[in-house]
A and B are shown apart, each in its own frame.
Chain A
Amino acid sequence: MSITVLYFAGLRETLGVEREELALPAQVVDVAGLRTWLQARGERWVALAAPRIRAAVNQTLAGDATSVADGDEVAFFPPVTGG
Chain B
Amino acid sequence: MTTTSISVQYEDFDLTVEVDALSGAGAAGAVASFVGYVRGGDVLAMTLEHYPGMTECALADIAVQAHGRWALLGVRIIHRVGRLLPGERIVFVGVAGSHRGEAFSACQFIMDYLKTQAPFWKKEETADGARWVDARDSDEAALRQWRS
Task: Enumerate chain A interface residues (CB-CB to B < 8 A).
Answer: 6, 8-10, 56, 59-61, 75, 77-83
Residue among A6, A59, A80 with the highest chain B CB neighbour number at 10 A: A80
Tell me which residues from 30 to 56 in chain B have a Cβ below 8 Å from any Cβ of chain A.
36, 48-51, 53-54
Tell me which residues from 95 to 136 in chain B have a Cβ below 8 Å from any Cβ of chain A.
111, 114-123, 132-135
Contact at B90–A10, with CB atoms within 8 Å? no
Q: A80 is contacted by which of B91, B120, B123 (Cβ under 8 Å)? A: B120
**28 intermolecular pairs with C-beta atoms under 8 Å apart:** A9-B49, A9-B121, A10-B121, A56-B54, A56-B119, A59-B51, A59-B53, A60-B57, A75-B54, A75-B119, A77-B51, A77-B119, A78-B121, A78-B132, A78-B135, A79-B116, A80-B115, A80-B118, A80-B119, A81-B120, A81-B134, A81-B135, A82-B48, A82-B79, A82-B119, A82-B120, A83-B91, A83-B111
Q: A82 is contacted by which of B53, B57, B122, B123 (Cβ under 8 Å)? A: B122
* Band of interface residues on B: 20 to 34
Residue among A10, A75, A82 with the highest chain B CB neighbour number at 10 A: A82
Q: B51 is contacted by which of A8, A79, A81, A83 (Cβ under 8 Å)? A: A8
Taking CB atoms, residues of chain A closer than 8 Å to B116 are: 79-80
Q: Apart from A80-B119, A81-B133, A83-B120, what 8 extra A-B contacts exist at CB < 8 Å?
A: A56-B51, A61-B117, A75-B51, A80-B116, A81-B115, A81-B120, A82-B48, A82-B121
Residue of A nearest to B123 (CB): A9
Taking CB atoms, residues of chain A closer than 8 Å to B58 are: 61
Residue of B nearest to A52 (CB): B135
The smallest beta-carbon distance between B42 and chain A, in angstroms, is 17
Residue of A nearest to B130 (CB): A13
In whole angstroms, how far apart are the Cα atoms of A79 and B35 in the complex?
22
Contact at A80–B36, with CB atoms within 8 Å? no
In whole angstroms, how far apart are the Cα atoms of A10 and B58 in the complex?
21
